[in-house]
Chain A
């Protein structure tokens, strides 16, 4: 069946760029598409992707978009596209909870990223679930346990869990997530979608609840790399309301054929470490073969401090988070998830000397990452050590050693890059083998692609070429 013959109910499974083309040509009704996504979000509400679904508001926005498109007033590729945003970002007239019970208000203005989506004509379907205050690591979920659509007994990743679920399960056409220390890349990897952490300073954080100021970023979570580029271009750019956004002009992504001339460095410490499972290693090796077949030169690279990425990233980010939460921690400690509370209270005691030492190690990490990116155009690693784990009911942190095993060491594939402020994107590269005993038919595996500062287009190029040659991004979870 051709795309043109499909109903809105069927089209919700297609990438946002395909929907965009139909919408802006007037071949698909924004109202019908919005209705289809709303119906699907309700049908699969048990996944707990949404905290707030704004049915009435979304349909009104869709009607406005439909009228504008009929008049030929096309705002751009997001016009009429039903999207959703992590409930870390304010959206005027909608409830913000930041995934907590401590914060609960109706926003009187849009976060800059939401305002930019609206200016581009996107329809905001609602606010998506997340880990409490975007911290990640919480065990209880006041707005419902986020369920991985590939296996509902498993985690959807943290902290942009609702965004990962909503895109993977086609409960919106595209979503926004936030990434401090992996919160876009983790859920995207475990849910089998594409997720971009932009260069720090490329996308405004105004109107977003902070997790850790020096690493917070906002980016697209989408079905494809082309979708991610389309959404990124709508939200990126200088914002006077966020003084740390870059004034550097944005160059639209234009896909080219193949990867000829591109040098790709594989961070060996992310693979040869005894922690990344053989299934994931095999998946990455297969992906590298695809990159070679597209003309890329694949080289080994090294980041000697890679194993310390988790410690440096968590140690610094948690220290900042503890300061952000100091008032709530004093006044309402019992209203936090117990794991969040313990984490933040412990981080409140990190000595200043330790924070400064970690900050200096951060500079060493950045120096190593930048040196590697001088030798090659892009770096790649697995996005995760293994497929999504089972939903946790306890922290399991019954000793100092257990804390070290869980948070530090070679399982932290994403830390070196959020520490360095560089763009990093994950995209699906296959599935782990089915495991009857574990109760799943295969869990998503992903590749992380890292670029130089502000080189999002180079990251997109590799990912887009890979997706032109493979069909992992076309797979959809069996929800029924």
Chain B
């Protein structure tokens, strides 16, 4: 995969109405989003496709204790 550049991150932020305060902001935001993207892309599990992304609600379950 290819990392986002600071300019690309600035453009994406602008598209949702956000503006980094300074260059240090932009650099760290870039590191952070690139880290998440790379780490999430690397996650693999043989049963992933069988999982539905539901929230965890215990409220309808019986007798868990």
Chain A positions near chain B (C-beta within 8 angstroms)? 199-201, 214, 244, 246-248, 251, 305, 308, 311, 315, 326, 329-330, 333-334, 338, 341-343, 345-351, 354, 356-364, 366, 395, 397-404, 407-408, 420-421, 452-455, 457-458
Contacts and interface: CB of A to CB of B under 8 A. Distances in A.
Contacts of B54: 359, 363
Given A311-B36, A341-B25, A345-B25, 19 more contacts: A200-B58, A201-B57, A244-B59, A308-B43, A333-B18, A348-B16, A349-B12, A358-B43, A360-B51, A360-B53, A399-B31, A400-B35, A400-B38, A402-B31, A403-B32, A403-B34, A420-B56, A421-B56, A455-B65
Nearest to A350: B36
Contact of B21 (A247, A334, A354, A399): A334
Contacts of A457: 65
Given A333-B19, A454-B58, A359 B65 contact: no
Given A348-B16, A350-B33, A402-B31, A338 B25 contact: yes
B7 interface: no
Contact of A346 (B29, B39, B45, B58): B29
A342 B32 contact: yes
Interface of B: 3, 9, 12-13, 16-21, 24-25, 27-29, 31-40, 43, 45, 47-48, 51-59, 61, 64-65
A354 B31 CA distance: 16
Contact of B31 (A201, A351, A366, A397): A397
A347 B16 CA distance: 12
Contacts of B3: 400
Nearest to A333: B21
Given A354-B40, A400-B38, A349 B33 contact: yes
A248 B37 CA distance: 40
Contacts of B56: 200, 214, 362, 366, 420-421
A250 B1 CA distance: 50
A332 B58 CA distance: 38
Contacts of B9: 349
A269 B20 CA distance: 38
Nearest to A215: B56
A244 B18 CA distance: 32
A311 B53 contact: no
A122 to B, nearest CB: 27
Contacts of B16: 326, 348-349
Nearest to B15: A349
Nearest to B28: A342
Contacts of B21: 333-334, 338, 341
Contact of B40 (A357, A366, A420): A357
Contacts of B19: 333
22 contacts: A199-B58, A201-B58, A244-B57, A244-B59, A248-B59, A311-B36, A311-B43, A315-B36, A330-B18, A338-B21, A342-B28, A347-B32, A348-B18, A357-B40, A357-B48, A361-B48, A398-B28, A400-B3, A453-B58, A454-B64, A454-B65, A457-B65
Contacts of A251: 65
A361 B58 CA distance: 18
A399 B25 CA distance: 13
Contact of B35 (A330, A357, A404, A454): A404
A81 to B, nearest CB: 28
Contact of A345 (B20, B48, B61): B20
A363 B36 contact: no
A451 to B, nearest CB: 8
Most chain A CB within a 10 A radius of its CB, from B17, B39, B43:
B39
A421 to B, nearest CB: 4
A363 B31 contact: no
A360 B28 contact: no
B64 A453 contact: yes
Contact of A403 (B12, B25, B35): B35
A454 B21 CA distance: 44
Contacts of A399: 31
A421 B58 CA distance: 8
B59 A363 contact: no
Contact of A311 (B17, B39, B59): B39
A324 to B, nearest CB: 14
A350 B34 CA distance: 9
Contacts of A348: 13, 16, 18
A363 B32 contact: no
A366 B55 CA distance: 10
